[in-house]
């Protein structure tokens, strides 16, 4: 059993479909707050449930288990065991003709995703994106976004958050304060945004400001030169304190994007210290590489009091609202025209 009474401020991935003995020892010793699953960890429902149970057994509590189940090209649960879910842009297109229906469809789709996740014991979904793309930006966001109108993005993002919360699954708004202007993929390189502060505030920050009460949020590995010319949001005290917590007013549990992404530089101990020193509540490491996780653990620290308060606040937002028996058929009918 873990020796720390307060979990470490980190979310880890694992390498495969089951935990190795080395992974079990590591997780038990270092007591991460939670875990994240990727396609490499998923085969069938029984296997996923067993893996989730294994992870929680290592830390001796119902630790949060995260997944990226947005729909479209970012969907870890796939056929044949789970239905294909639409990308977020589908709901944006529906909103062009019927905003009210688009809201209902986005919320119902999220409630169906929550049902899929809850059946497996997964209780945090890294969705929705609140990024507002611009013409010429890298397509890493693309159809993952609801659209180009900040008000539309905020409206449909709220609907997705509500649908997930209705099904006892925690939403994670991302990538705060906005990844839509990035000209490169932050998985591979460091995006630098040149836009003026006023433009960012008016457009990119607006959906996050509208959802400043969201339970969890994930940072962007993006440099915003108007605020900090050297450091991406994830490791910038200026961006986190002045923009995310300050101007935007974000009250969420603040989770870094993946520390193994190439947008970040330095060894993993340095990345971890920079992320937590900047003001992130949690560091995220996804790829399951043990050497990297050990370096992160060497620089890790327990959750702060503020982080524990934010986690408790977030847990209080969950609600268990029944899913109608005909929910999928209803959603299919609503989306039939826009998907044609």
Query: Residue 222 and residue 199: Cα distance in Å, rounded?
Result: 16
Element (H, E) at 34: strand 32-37
Torsion of CA 272, 262, 71, 324, to 10 degrees: 0
User: Structure tokens of 226?
Assistant: 């108007």
Active site residues: 187, 257
Are 21 and 27 in contact, with CB atoms under 8 Å apart? no
* Contacts of residue 269, Cβ cutoff 8 Å, sequence gap at least 6: 295, 296, 298, 299
Under 8 Å between Cβ of 234 and 191: no
Tell me 255's DSSP state: E
Q: Which residues, at least 6 apart from 113, have a Cβ–Cβ distance to it below 8 Å?
A: 69, 71, 85, 125, 127, 163, 164, 167, 169
């Amino acid at each position: 059993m873990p020796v720390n009474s307060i979990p470490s401020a980190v979310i880890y991935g694992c390498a495969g479909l089951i935990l190795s003995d080395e992974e079990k020892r590591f997780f038990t010793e270092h007591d991460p707050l939670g875990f994240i699953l990727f396609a490499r960890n998923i085969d069938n429902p029984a296997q996923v449930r067993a893996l989730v149970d294994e992870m929680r057994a290592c830390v001796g509590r119902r630790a949060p288990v995260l997944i990226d189940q947005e729909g479209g090209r970012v969907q870890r649960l796939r056929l044949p065991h789970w239905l294909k879910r639409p990308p977020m842009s589908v709901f944006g297109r529906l909103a062009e003709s019927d905003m009210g229906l688009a809201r209902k469809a986005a919320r119902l789709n999220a409630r169906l995703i929550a049902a899929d996740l809850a059946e497996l014991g997964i209780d945090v979904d890294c969705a929705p994106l609140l990024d507002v793309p611009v013409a010429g930006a890298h397509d890493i966001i693309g159809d993952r976004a609801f659209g180009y109108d900040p008000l539309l993005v905020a409206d449909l993002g709220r609907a997705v958050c509500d649908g997930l919360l209705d099904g006892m699954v925690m939403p994670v708004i991302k990538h705060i304060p906005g990844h839509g202007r990035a000209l490169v993929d932050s998985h591979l390189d460091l995006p630098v945004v040149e836009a003026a502060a006023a433009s960012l505030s008016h457009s990119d920050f607006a959906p996050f400001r509208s959802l400043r009460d969201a339970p969890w949020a994930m940072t962007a590995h993006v440099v915003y030169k108007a605020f900090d010319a050297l450091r991406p949001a994830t490791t910038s005290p200026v961006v986190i304190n002045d923009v995310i917590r300050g101007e935007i007013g974000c009250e969420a549990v603040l989770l870094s994007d993946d520390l193994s992404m190439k947008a970040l530089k330095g060894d993993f101990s340095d990345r971890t210290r920079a992320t937590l020193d900047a003001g992130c509540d949690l560091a995220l490491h996804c790829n399951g590489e043990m050497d990297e996780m050990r370096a992160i653990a060497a620089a890790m620290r327990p959750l702060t009091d503020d982080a524990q308060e934010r986690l408790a606040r977030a847990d209080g937002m969950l609600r268990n609202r029944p899913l109608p028996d005909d929910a999928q058929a209803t959603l299919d009918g609503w989306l039939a025209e826009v998907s044609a």
